[in-house]
Chains A and B, each alone.
Chain A
Amino acid sequence: MIQFLKIILLGILYIVISPLLVAILALAMVYGLFVFVFLLFKSVFLFFTGRTIFSDYPEDVAAKKILGQIKEGNAPASTGTPQ
């Protein structure tokens, strides 16, 4: 019963703030479209320089290097070819 009342109260809250939610969604969509257009031009430019916008950032490269080192450190030592 309390759960049901909570859902009803949430319903009232969402109806009251729905204009604000719609405004946020619309603003985010406009902002997202600007981001899309900007990245579209950037991706076209990068395409002709032989690169892509989906390549790793320097931070990703550094993190992958560290993870690789950790994996190598944890790997069991090679015993060489069996005699």
Chain B
Amino acid sequence: MRWLITLSEKEQRMLIILFILLVAVLALVGLIGVGVRKIMAFQARKVDEGMSYLVTTKVIKDERHFRYVARKKNYRLVFAQYFFPLVILGLDVLFLYLYIAISGNQAIIQEMFSHDARGVGTLFFVFDWANIPTATFFGLVLPSDWPPLLNAPHFVLAAWPNYIFVTLASVSAVWLMVATQAFIARSWRIYKKSRTIFIKSLDAINTLDNINK
């Protein structure tokens, strides 16, 4: 505690703020993780929809057959769920290709994410992170203020092809990621269920029941 006393009022306040920030970030990441797990459990239910009646009717009787059919159905779902995002991405690339072919202006690709030309960066706050103000705290060089602002959001009409391209590409990328997450969730459920539903357990058998009858 002695070293705490030697801290100035400002340093103590900074330490508390850093601690609160750290806890908030960790809690946020934890909550996002819990949310993702819940979504994955929901996505994995597709396996139950496609496989439960095959097991209850005893058409599928063993682990290997279960995995074989479930995997084939899982692949079909991957095809169905990847289809639209990949079509959007393909059309998006085609759009940019046609724009460049018609306008003859290839520089728009290099400017795609810029904030000072025709990029999507013009729509966002852009900070100069390389020149962030710092302060020395216990020998550590830490950020002490917000970095200088390089760009405030503003609309640039000439940047419309990049706005459309990046927006559609982002939508299809997120869509693909969610579809991939669902693919992983289903694959994991198939593996887990194939190991448990055909298990032959002695725990459920009580021979005395048969003797008493």
A59 with B60: CB separation less than 8 A: yes
Tell me which residues across on chain B come within 8 A of A4, comparing CB atoms. Answer: 27
A20 within 8 A of partner (CB) = no
Q: Decide: B27 and A11 in contact? CB cutoff 8 A.
A: yes
CB distance from A4 to the nearest CB of B (A): 7
B69 surroundings in chain A (CB, below 8 A): 57, 59
- Return A28 CB to nearest CB of chain B, in Å: 5
Mask: chain A, 1-30; 1 = CB below 8 Å from B; 0 = not: 000101111111111000000001100110
- How distant is the Cα of A76 from the Cα of B83 in the complex, in angstroms? 45
Question: Are the CB atoms of A53 and B29 closer together than 8 Å?
Answer: no
Question: Could you say which of B34, B59, B76 contacts A66, with CB atoms under 8 Å apart?
Answer: B59
Count A-B pairs with CB separation below 8 Å. Answer: 87
Interface residues on A, range: 20 to 34
CB neighbours of B183 from chain A (8 A): 28, 32
Residues facing B in A45-82 (CB within 8 A) are 53-54, 57, 59-60, 62-63, 66-67
Number of interface residues of B (CB under 8 A): 35
Shortest CB–CB separation between residue A19 and chain B, in angstroms? Answer: 14
Q: Is the beta-carbon distance between B34 and A7 smaller than 8 angstroms?
A: yes
Nearest to B65 among chain A residues (CB) is A59
Q: Is the CB of A53 within 8 A of B26?
A: no
The reply to whether A59 and B27 form a contact with Cβ atoms under 8 Å apart is no
Question: Given the known A-B contacts A25-B180, A60-B54, are A15 and B26 also in contact in the complex, defined by CB atoms under 8 Å?
Answer: yes
Residues of A within 8 A of B59 (CB): 59, 62-63, 66
A-contacting residues of B (Cβ < 8 Å)?
23, 25-34, 53-54, 57, 59-60, 69, 72-73, 75-76, 78-80, 82-83, 86, 176-177, 179-181, 183-184, 187
**A residues bordering B, Cβ < 8 Å?**
4, 6-15, 24-25, 28-29, 32-33, 35-36, 39-40, 43, 53-54, 57, 59-60, 62-63, 66-67
